[in-house]
């Protein structure tokens, strides 16, 4: 399991990892506690997900479709704040 000092350190680590393996990441899902502090964060490949089908079927478009860049890539890193140690850990640490 991985352990990070902050959410930013986790992002920097995964960004460096992604570049070495030929992809780019973006910040995706975020969970906050009652006070508004971040407690979970999801980093995903920039090609994660798919474009909504309804956009392909529209015939009244004034512009051409943008190039398809989303390929439903599954590369991701989910980290959470461990309250006991105040460190950020990868989600699979306790699995």
pTM of the shown model: 0.79
Q: How many domains does the chain have?
A: 1
Report if residue 95 sits inside a domain: no
Report if residue 57 sits inside a domain: yes
CA distances from 71 to 15, 33, 48, 84, 92 (A): 19, 32, 6, 38, 24
User: pLDDT tens digits, residue range 15-29?
Assistant: 999 999 999 999 999
Give the separation between CA 82 and CA 88, rounded to whole angstroms. Answer: 6
Report if residue 54 sits inside a domain: yes
Mean pLDDT for 58-74 is 81
Query: By residue range, what is the domain housing residue 7?
Result: 3-90
Report if residue 41 sits inside a domain: yes
Report if residue 74 sits inside a domain: yes
Report if residue 43 sits inside a domain: yes
């Amino acid at each position: 399991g991985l352990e990070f000092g902050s959410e930013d350190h986790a992002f920097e680590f995964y960004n460096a990892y992604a570049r070495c393996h030929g992809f780019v990441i973006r910040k995706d899902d975020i969970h906050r506690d009652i006070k508004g502090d971040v407690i979970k964060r999801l980093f995903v490949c920039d090609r994660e997900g798919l474009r909504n089908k309804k956009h392909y079927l529209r015939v009244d478009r004034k512009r051409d479709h943008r190039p398809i860049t989303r390929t439903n890539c599954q590369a991701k890193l989910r980290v959470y704040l461990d309250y006991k140690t105040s460190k950020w850990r990868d989600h699979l640490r306790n699995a």
